[in-house]
Amino acid sequence: RRVYGSALHGGAAWAFTDMRLHADHFSRVLVLDARLEPRGACRGATPAEVSLLGGVPVHSGPGRLVRQLLLAETFRSLSMVAEPWAGHLSRRVTGLNKKHVRLMRAAADRRRLSAGAAREVLDELCKLHLLLEEFMAKHHLRLESAHVWYQHMRGMTRDLQESGVEGFQRIGEFTRSRLDDLERDRASVERLTQDVSLRLQRSGELVRTQVTVQQMEQQHSTAVTVKRLTGVAVVLSVLLGVRELVDLLAWAG
């Protein structure tokens, strides 16, 4: 079993833990007091002062140090809650993105979409976008809360002013390495969700643009046909008019 340890507040105390839950569902942290002053003690020659709330120097008694360690562990545990949710959201969004790709590939194979087919594609895109919004509404709050707890944990570990203990990996170093990976996963899922949302919007705009172009082509074709028919009508009118004039002159003669 691996044990992690750190010297805290300039060596005023040492803390050791194995980062595991025991049979009673609690973890264990061993704190060794080297030169911590009790709360309320007068400042001596070598007080253990730390920068806590608002950067105000205060005495770091054993109780305050234990409280800091427990808060850091609490923030770490709360940050870890996002791990399954990030993976779940990533799988859902990835599956939705595959459906989107298949839909657009099928639309591209048709080359020219009729108005009815375009409406069907737009309906499917709207359904996919609605599913994506539901996923985001369900998981975003949990992931954002985990991000907030992650920031609190980093601030708390900075306040502990860790230094290394020979033969042990630092508690804060291990915690940060684990949570930094989780934070990268959370940021990656957030970027993936935003990218898929943007692609869905662009696909909808592309389909609408294609339908608009087809309508413009039809209008242009209709205008050309009308112009040709108008020219034919004018020519026929002229020819009929000449024939009537010849008949009139023949009758007059």
- The Cα angle at residue 64 between residues 2 and 32, in degrees rounded to 5: 40
* Residue 64 near residue 13 (C-beta atoms within 8 A): no
As a whole number, the mean pLDDT across the chain is 76
Question: What does the pLDDT look like over 104-142, one tens digit per residue?
Answer: 888 777 766 676 777 888 888 888 888 888 888 888 777
Would you state the pLDDT for residue 247? 67
Question: What is the crossing angle of helices 171-252 and 115-159, to 10°?
Answer: 160
- Domain span holding position 210: 67-220
Asked whether residue 123 is domain-assigned, the answer is yes
Strand spans (E) along the chain? 4-8, 13-17, 29-33, 49-51, 57-59
Asked whether residue 131 is domain-assigned, the answer is yes
Between 12 and 101, the higher pLDDT residue = 101
Question: What does the pLDDT look like over 138-154, one tens digit per residue?
Answer: 887 778 888 888 887 77
Number of folded domains that form the chain: 1
Would you state the pLDDT for residue 16? 86
pTM value is 0.58
Band the pLDDT of 55: cuts 50, 70, 90: very low
Between 234 and 97, the higher pLDDT residue = 97
| Cα dihedral across residues 123, 124, 129, 132: positive or negative | positive
Asked whether residue 22 is domain-assigned, the answer is no
User: Would you put residue 111 in left (φ > 0), alpha (ψ -120 to 50) or beta?
Assistant: left
Asked whether residue 76 is domain-assigned, the answer is yes
* Residue 22 near residue 79 (C-beta atoms within 8 A): no
H or E stretch including 30? strand 29-33
Would you state the pLDDT for residue 202? 86
Asked whether residue 149 is domain-assigned, the answer is yes
Asked whether residue 167 is domain-assigned, the answer is yes
Give 165's strand partners: 168
Q: What is the rounded CA–CA span in Å between residue 189 and residue 118?
A: 31
DSSP state of 43: P
Question: What does the pLDDT look like over 240-253, one tens digit per residue?
Answer: 766 666 666 676 65
Question: What does the pLDDT look like over 196-239, one tens digit per residue?
Answer: 888 888 888 888 777 777 777 778 888 888 888 787 777 777 77
Between 48 and 89, the higher pLDDT residue = 89
